[in-house]
Structure 1
């Protein structure tokens, strides 16, 4: 074997090893359906979101709330629940003109989102129904 054949053989060998090492992809986790309702001060929360945050990995799956009800798909496991609802903040038109995009403010207290201690376990099944009650104070 001459020198150029040895170099080519070595390069092909190293390329093969590199390709074997590139297939370490994690499997995509399966999501499961969730559904339920959210009340704000005893009434269905008009609009907002429920975030299911993975306790172990910090992965956030968010589903929309409309008319007090939500549904969507999230990863299974123990989840911290964060609930938010936004309203348009008044005053932008005075500062930025009539065409200004409104800014929004979360009307749900931090104890139900950033500081939430609400938890739920999402099962690896199609039977994941939840009911969350929040208050504005």
Structure 2
């Protein structure tokens, strides 16, 4: 019985990879990004983390380390789509998403605040 407890003990303390609260603000041309998505992709191994951007702010959990960051956002055009549904268009340039040059470091502490001021 003692051997079984000794084998299980190391497993009990392992809750999986550590995650850190990451929050911040995202602006585009000085204005808060109203409705978007932010993605943190670890450089190397690790879990991809993401969260919504609402009224220019985000808040989600990510593992510590160096990250590649992708930011996307859409806005509704005044003219409806051909099918009559709302017509949304992406307005954040590819240099911040598909061809991103953004990076961030999630430090191993209780909470990180990281802001992104994007320009055209």
**TM-score bin (small chain):** 0.7 to 0.9
Q: How does 1:44-55 map to 2 (within 5 A)?
A: 44-55=32-43
Cα offset, 1:106, TM superposition: 1.8
Structure 2 stretches lacking a partner, 5+ long? 1-14
Question: Does the Cα contact within 8 Å between 2:80 and 2:87 map onto a contact in 1?
Answer: no
Equivalent residues, number: 106
Cα 1:131–1:73 change in 2 (3 A) is same
Q: How does 1:1-137 map to 2 (within 5 A)?
A: 28-57=16-45, 59-88=47-76, 90-92=79-81, 94=82, 96=83, 98=84, 100=85, 102=86, 104-135=88-119, 137=120
Q: TM-score, normalised by structure 2?
A: 0.75
Question: Does the Cα contact within 8 Å between 2:25 and 2:56 map onto a contact in 1?
Answer: yes
CA distance in 2, matches of 1:120, 1:46: 21
Deviating 4+ runs (over 6 angstroms): none
Question: Does the Cα contact within 8 Å between 1:34 and 1:126 map onto a contact in 2?
Answer: no
Question: Does the Cα contact within 8 Å between 1:38 and 1:132 map onto a contact in 2?
Answer: yes
Counterpart secondary structure, 2:71: strand
- Of Structure 1 and Structure 2, the greater helix share is in 1
Higher relative contact order (CA 8 A, sep 6+): 2
Structure 1 stretches lacking a partner, 5+ long? 1-26
CA RMSD of aligned residues (A): 2.2
